[in-house]
């Protein structure tokens, strides 16, 4: 309510000021000249209070900026040059330039919107979960602790081959789980396979 009351007060004061300025007896402000009567490098508390602390002093350095009614000479020259260049362009050329500028702006806006959509979709893909935690936990438990694995052994795994040599015993014991399966359609004279290596027949030296 306090903000609305202040806004209503300001609006009323602005309307009153506009009525006074638009009155026929009010002289035109553009015909009035403001001349600084006192310039001082010392701090002026009255100016500080009126400007809400923005202007501490009213010296020869700040007067040209605060009482300026025209832009800088350099800026004025640039504006005149731009106006002269604009007057030289024909309406057709100006229309073409406007169309090309609008096309460039529309293409730029399309690229920006496309990049925004791609970034949003990429963020959604990153946030989407791509795995099942239950399956992951079950796999870790099976690998680490053997949970859920079957206790059955393949046929022929119970027989162990003993050897007099301790080094060969470990190798043959590891290979004892391999079952000898004859190949289909192979002749009976073909030698059995043990762990993928063909055994030499008795009485022949091994290679």
What is the per-residue pLDDT for 104?
95
- Residue 148's SS3 state is coil
pTM: 0.27
What is the per-residue pLDDT for 80?
93
Q: Within 13 A of 196's CA, how many CA atoms are on the CB side?
A: 0
**Residues 173-204 pLDDT 10s:** 444 444 444 454 444 444 444 444 455 555 55
**Residues 103-126 pLDDT 10s:** 999 999 999 999 988 888 776 666
- CA dist 176 and 161 (Å) reads 6
Q: How many residues does the chain have?
A: 207
pLDDT lower than 70: segments of the chain: 123-129, 152-207
């Amino acid at each position: 309510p306090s903000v609305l009351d202040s806004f209503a007060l300001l609006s009323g004061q602005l309307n009153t000021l506009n009525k006074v300025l638009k009155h026929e007896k009010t002289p035109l402000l553009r015909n009035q000249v403001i001349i600084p009567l006192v310039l001082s490098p010392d701090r002026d508390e009255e100016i500080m209070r009126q400007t809400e602390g923005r202007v501490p002093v009213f010296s020869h350095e700040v007067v040209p900026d605060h009482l300026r009614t025209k832009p800088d000479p350099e800026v004025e020259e640039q504006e005149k040059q731009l106006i002269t260049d604009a007057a030289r362009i024909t309406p057709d050329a100006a229309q073409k330039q406007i169309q090309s500028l609008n096309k460039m702006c529309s293409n730029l806006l399309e690229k920006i919107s496309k990049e925004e959509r791609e970034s949003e979709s990429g963020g959604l893909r990153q946030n989407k979960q791509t795995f099942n935690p239950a399956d992951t936990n079950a796999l870790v438990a099976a690998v680490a602790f053997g949970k859920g694995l079957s206790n059955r052994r393949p046929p022929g795994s119970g027989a162990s081959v003993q050897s007099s040599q301790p080094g060969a015993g470990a190798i043959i014991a590891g290979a004892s789980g391999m079952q000898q399966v004859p190949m289909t359609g192979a002749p009976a004279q073909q030698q059995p396979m043990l762990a993928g290596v063909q055994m030499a027949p008795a009485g022949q030296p091994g290679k």
